[in-house]
């Protein structure tokens, strides 16, 4: 099973990038697979198609194919096992096969997760799934199972743009039973998270040597060229078949029926206070310069 995994900090444009990559390589974008259990099965968020998770024809077929009448039981086991496997503190352990295989519950956790991905691939009919979960701890956990062929795409965005985006809250339409907004973060916390997540993603690239780096600003400036380069780098040989429009979790823009022109949001240059810009720049400096953000 082949997974193109988009890894990077939140608010880095992963949703729009994944949607465009889905079309470019003929894959199926399943959204943030890490949250299928909590936001899909437990909380019944809306799918990209507009239907609640438990009424979406794609996801109901996937869960039935994967677990039959034992879906709830599988979700409970996943929730019980995850805290000991999918956490940033376990990244180093999960990067070493000999250590990872001794992790309590990893084999069982891997069986559950593999069943879900396998069913998604079977129902969609696609050779490649795109997972925009972003979290490097989840990427390392998937790798530790030894059950997947994973092609990470490390998506990075200017940390000052990320920090500014986290100061703005947007309505979350997927939570259809009440009016709820996206979380906000302080610039300090955003910068710290940006640094730790991208450091973990860089660590994966250094160990595995098979991750494609994409700057979001470059993608916005020349989307067709960047997507073509990514497809060539991945060596993607997809059937071109697949079930589309059923991603779960991610930016609210996935519910828009008309595709927006791709443009990098540079409003942070004028609207992020100077003191916050300096703070974010200082915290992110160890990696910011490496990615060309002067």
pLDDT digits (tens, 9 = 90+) for 79-128: 999 999 999 999 999 999 889 988 999 999 999 999 999 999 999 999 99
- Local structure of residue 171 (DSSP, 8 states): B
Structure confidence at residue 249 (pLDDT): 94
Are 56 and 41 in contact by the 8 Å Cβ rule? The answer is no
Least confident of 62-66, 87-91, 177-181: 177-181
Measured CA angle at 182 (ends 181, 187), to 5 deg: 130
- Residue ranges per domain, the chain? 2-288
Structure confidence at residue 240 (pLDDT): 60
pLDDT of 239 > 70? The answer is no
- Rounded to whole angstroms, the Cα distance separating 86 from 72 reads 20
Say which CATH class 2-288 falls into.
Answer: alpha beta
* Tens digit of each residue's pLDDT (9 = 90 or more) over 156-171: 999 999 999 999 988 8
* Tens digit of each residue's pLDDT (9 = 90 or more) over 252-267: 888 887 777 788 889 9
Per-residue pLDDT averaged across 269-292, rounded?
96
- Rounded to whole angstroms, the Cα distance separating 134 from 75 reads 21
Buried b (16+ CB within 10 A) or exposed e, 216-231: bbbbbeebeebbeebb
Tokens matching residue 163: 């920090």
- Rounded to whole angstroms, the Cα distance separating 192 from 33 reads 24
Mean pLDDT of the chain: 94
The pTM for the full model equals: 0.94
Tokens matching residue 122: 């079977």
Tokens matching residue 223: 């989307």
Tokens matching residue 85: 């496997």
Which residue matches tokens 């799918």? 47
**Can you list the pairs that 56-64 forms with residues at least 24 positions away whose Cβ atoms lie under 8 Å?**
56/246, 58/123, 58/124, 58/243, 58/246, 59/246, 59/248, 61/119, 61/123, 62/116, 62/119, 62/120, 62/123, 63/116, 63/119
- Rounded to whole angstroms, the Cα distance separating 123 from 104 reads 31
Percent over 90 (pLDDT), the chain: 83
- Rounded to whole angstroms, the Cα distance separating 117 from 96 reads 23
Q: Residue 39: which pLDDT band, with cuts at 50, 70 and 90?
A: very high
Q: Residue 241: which pLDDT band, with cuts at 50, 70 and 90?
A: low
- Rounded to whole angstroms, the Cα distance separating 177 from 103 reads 38
């Amino acid at each position: 099973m082949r997974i193109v995994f988009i890894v990077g900090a939140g608010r880095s444009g992963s949703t729009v990038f994944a949607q465009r990559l889905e079309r470019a390589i003929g894959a199926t974008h399943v959204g943030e697979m890490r949250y299928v259990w909590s936001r899909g099965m437990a909380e019944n968020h809306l799918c990209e198609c507009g239907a609640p998770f438990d009424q979406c024809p794609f996801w109901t077929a996937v869960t039935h194919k994967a677990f039959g009448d034992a879906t709830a039981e599988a979700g409970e086991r996943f929730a019980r096992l995850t805290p000991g496997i999918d956490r940033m503190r376990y990244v180093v352990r999960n990067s070493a096969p000999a250590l990872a295989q001794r992790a309590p519950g990893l084999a069982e956790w891997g069986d559950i997760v593999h069943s879900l991905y396998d069913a998604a691939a079977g129902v969609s009919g696609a050779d490649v799934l795109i997972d925009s979960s972003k979290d490097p701890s989840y990427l390392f956990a998937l790798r530790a199972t030894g059950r997947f062929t994973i092609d990470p795409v490390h998506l990075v965005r200017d940390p000052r743009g990320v920090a500014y985006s986290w100061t703005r809250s947007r309505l979350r339409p997927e939570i259809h039973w009440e009016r709820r907004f996206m979380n906000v973060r302080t610039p300090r916390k955003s910068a710290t998270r940006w640094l730790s997540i991208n450091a973990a993603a860089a660590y994966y690239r250094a160990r595995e040597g098979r991750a494609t780096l994409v700057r979001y600003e470059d993608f916005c400036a020349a989307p067709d060229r960047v997507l073509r380069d990514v497809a060539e780098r991945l060596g993607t040989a997809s059937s071109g078949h697949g079930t589309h429009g059923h991603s779960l979790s991610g930016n609210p823009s996935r519910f828009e029926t008309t595709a927006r022109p791709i443009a990098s949001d540079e409003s942070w240059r004028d609207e992020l206070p100077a003191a916050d810009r300096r703070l974010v720049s200082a915290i992110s400096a160890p990696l910011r310069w490496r990615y060309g953000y002067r």
